[in-house]
Amino acid sequence: MPISRSAPPRRFARTVACMTVALATPPVMAETRDDSRRMLGQLNVMVHRATASACMLNAGIAVEDEAEDIARATHVFNKKLGLLNDGHVRPEVVDIVSSWRPVDAALTDILAGGPTDASLATVLESQAALEDATIHLEDVIGSEFNATSRISEAQILLIDLAERQLNFAHTMKLKACLIGSGGGDPAVTDELLEMMTFYEASLTVMRDGSPDYDLHPLAMPQMKEVLDEAITGWDALRPMLEKIATDGNATDDELLAIRDSTQTQVFAMNTLLMLYLGNTILRWPDPETSMMSKTEE
């Protein structure tokens, strides 16, 4: 039975809004708000990563690789979730645990017994509540914490953009999978096209800078090289996504090509994120859960 699900609008609206308002800096159990952004950021990336992989696995695309991605994403999410309480049980963390439980169970079922529409539907239906719970924790902790940031707002914006581009790359993969496997409705197609527009505009801002946001063109050669490769890859991916949005379906070969191309974008955004972090005085993430891990490539 085809699965038709629309992405939760709250997360997407919040992402677009980050381009026009001051960024929130939600800290968790960490020394500063800058460090703690990575923890909540990784939670969101892992949710998007696992959901997109579950759809591709359900469609029979790159089954072994997608199963490995699901296993890695759930491991990282569970590990980070265990670090969210700073000496006491936050009710907001309880909400995240409650929202994550059906997602985790459905993903475990997918890995144990093979993909089913029912398990994928559970993941998609629970994702909105999970993201809402994570956003709420960001808001609550952000209002409690008044530490001085160690980096500029412009640097925070670049880091935030790279992280959000990661989520968009995973989500575009999910939307294409839903449409291509017969589960897309007009809302899914509209969301894919809107994400494509934002993703491309963000690539341009990351490369060329923007006086509106006090961002300068990239100066570090390694960053520029990675971003140029990402833009070249995007020039190849964009027409694939446009075709699937227009046709409303796709062959397995077309879905596999989209899957591989979005993975290239994910790797590029991972690399940029690590370069942005390394170019500040932020600590590097835990090597085991770093977004540069092999299975995130």
pLDDT band at 36 (very low <50, low <70, confident <90, very high): low
Residue 129's pLDDT is 87
Residue 280's pLDDT is 56
- Domain assignment of residue 4, yes or no: no
Choice among 23-32, 184-193, 229-238 with the minimum mean pLDDT: 23-32
- Domain assignment of residue 16, yes or no: yes
- Domain assignment of residue 3, yes or no: no
134-176: pLDDT as tens digits: 878 776 765 555 444 555 677 778 888 888 999 999 999 999 9
Mean pLDDT of the chain: 78
Q: What is the mean pLDDT of residues 261-277?
A: 91
Cβ atoms within 10 A of the Cβ of 58, count? Answer: 24
Between 252-278 and 221-247, two packed helices, what is the crossing angle to 10 degrees? 150
- Report whether pLDDT(103) > 60: yes
Residue 202's pLDDT is 93
Residue, of 237 and 280, whose pLDDT is higher: 237
Residue 87's pLDDT is 59
Question: What Rg do the C-alpha atoms of the chain give, in angstroms?
Answer: 18
For 84-114, b/e burial (b = at least 16 CB within 10 A) is: beeeeebebbebbbebbebbbebbebbbeee
CA distances to 20, 70, 131 from 97, rounded to whole Å, are 31, 18, 11
- Domain assignment of residue 63, yes or no: yes
- Report whether pLDDT(31) > 60: no
- Report whether pLDDT(76) > 70: yes
Number of structural domains the chain divides into:
1
Residue, of 7 and 138, whose pLDDT is higher: 138
Residue, of 202 and 149, whose pLDDT is higher: 202
For 250-287, give the DSSP string: --HHHHHHHHHHHHHHHHHHHHHHHHHHHTTTPPPPPG
- Report whether pLDDT(192) > 70: yes
- Domain assignment of residue 276, yes or no: yes
Range of the domain at 210: 9-296
- Domain assignment of residue 2, yes or no: no
pLDDT band at 37 (very low <50, low <70, confident <90, very high): low
- Domain assignment of residue 144, yes or no: yes
pLDDT band at 187 (very low <50, low <70, confident <90, very high): very high
- Domain assignment of residue 1, yes or no: no
Residue, of 35 and 162, whose pLDDT is higher: 162
Residue, of 253 and 38, whose pLDDT is higher: 253
